[in-house]
């Protein structure tokens, strides 16, 4: 009787151990998964308003080519479902390079390779299509590195 009990406990421990290892592995995989498709209903992002690339640089966390946060016109609440468009020309002119939507935390992001080296012009659109344009080009996709409370530019706001 006692022996059976010991064996049962042993089996239980081995079983639990395998289960936990499997779970760790799954969590690791899901963390390393590089989300390229974002929807306005996804909520897996975090650190709204912070410079995403301070961590998402390929060393501390997988790299984003473009990431940041959208706010409403008061610049206090995040803006869900806004569209960020990156153009080769100013004021929404030229070629549309990529279009990103802000998620439930106001964040937009992509891991897609995008060449920003010759300077691109970001624009934002609200949910009914009104636009605001960045007046000068940027070569950096780390939008919140400038656009943050107390930064060199105010938080990106949607009209
Ligand atoms: C302080 C560091 C840090 C900052 C700042 C940060 N992140 Fe992360 N983020 C992480 C780490 C670490 C992970 C896990 C990544 C991994 O396993 O490689 C992660 C994962 C993610 C994921 C994947 C979540 C999932 O479950 O699939 C998304 C999306 C994400 N971050 C978006 C953002 C956005 C957008 C910003 C900026 C607004 C941001 N992060 C800022 C550290 C950070
Ligand atoms: C090197 C700093 C810098 C970077 C990086 C940067 N911006 Fe800007 N941005 C500015 C400045 C400065 C302005 C003008 C601010 C003002 O009008 O007060 C501006 C204005 C804007 C505007 C118009 C005002 C508004 O908020 O609606 C938008 C939209 C915008 N930026 C989007 C972006 C996006 C998206 C990115 C990332 C792809 C980005 N910016 C990266 C500095 C930057």
Binding pocket residue ranges, ligand 2, CB within 6 Å:
66, 68, 84, 122-124, 132, 134-135, 138, 140-143, 145-147, 152-154, 156-157
Which CATH number fits the domain that encloses residue 58?
Answer: 2.60.40
Residue appearing with tokens 């936990």: 20
- Shared domain for 18 and 75, answered yes or no, is no
Give the confidence band of 3 by pLDDT, cuts at 50, 70, 90: low
Q: Give the model's pLDDT for residue 13.
A: 44
Q: Average per-residue pLDDT in the chain? A: 84
Q: Which ligand is nearest to the CA of 109?
A: 1
Which of these, 69, 34, 46, lies nearest to 146 by C-alpha position? 69
Question: How large a percentage of the chain has pLDDT more than 90?
Answer: 73
Residue 124, CA distances (Å) to 2, 46, 81, 127, 159 in order: 70, 20, 11, 10, 8
Q: Is 107 in the pocket of ligand 1 (CB under 6 A)?
A: yes
Q: Residue 36: name the closest of 55, 58, 63 by CA.
A: 63
CB 155 within 8 A of CB 74: no
Answer yes or no: is 121 within a domain: yes
Q: Is 110 within 8 Å of 38 (Cβ atoms)? A: yes
Q: With 60 as the cut, is the pLDDT of residue 54 above it?
A: yes
Spatial distance between the Cα atoms of 79 and 4, rounded to a whole number of angstroms? 61
124 in the same domain as 76? yes
| Interval 92-132: pLDDT, tens | 999 999 999 999 999 999 999 999 999 999 999 999 999 99
Longest dimension (CA), the chain: 81
DSSP for residue 63: P
For ligand 1, whether the C-beta of 48 sits within 6 Å is yes
As for how many domains the chain has, the answer is: 2
Domain hosting 13: range is: 1-33
Residues 23 and 56 in one domain: no
Query: Ligand 2: which of 76, 150, 156 to mutate, most ligand atoms within 8 Å of CB?
Result: 156
CB 138 within 8 A of CB 151: no
Same domain, 23 and 57: no
Q: Is residue 119 part of a domain?
A: yes
């Amino acid at each position: 009787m006692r022996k059976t009990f010991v064996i049962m406990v042993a089996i239980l421990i081995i079983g639990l151990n395998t289960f936990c290892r499997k779970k760790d592995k799954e969590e690791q995989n899901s963390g390393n998964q590089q989300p390229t498709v974002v929807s306005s209903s996804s909520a897996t992002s975090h650190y709204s308003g912070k410079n995403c690339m301070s961590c998402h640089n390929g060393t501390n966390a997988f790299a984003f080519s473009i990431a940041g946060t959208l706010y409403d016109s008061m610049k206090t609440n995040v803006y869900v479902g806004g569209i960020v468009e990156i153009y080769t020309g100013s004021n929404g002119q030229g070629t549309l390079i990529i279009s990103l939507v802000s998620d439930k935390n106001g964040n937009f992001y992509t891991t897609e390779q995008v060449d920003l080296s010759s300077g691109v012009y970001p624009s934002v659109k609200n949910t009914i299509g009104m636009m605001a344009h960045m007046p000068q080009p940027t070569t950096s996709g780390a939008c919140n590195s400038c656009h943050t409370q107390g930064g060199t530019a105010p938080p990106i706001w949607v009209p």
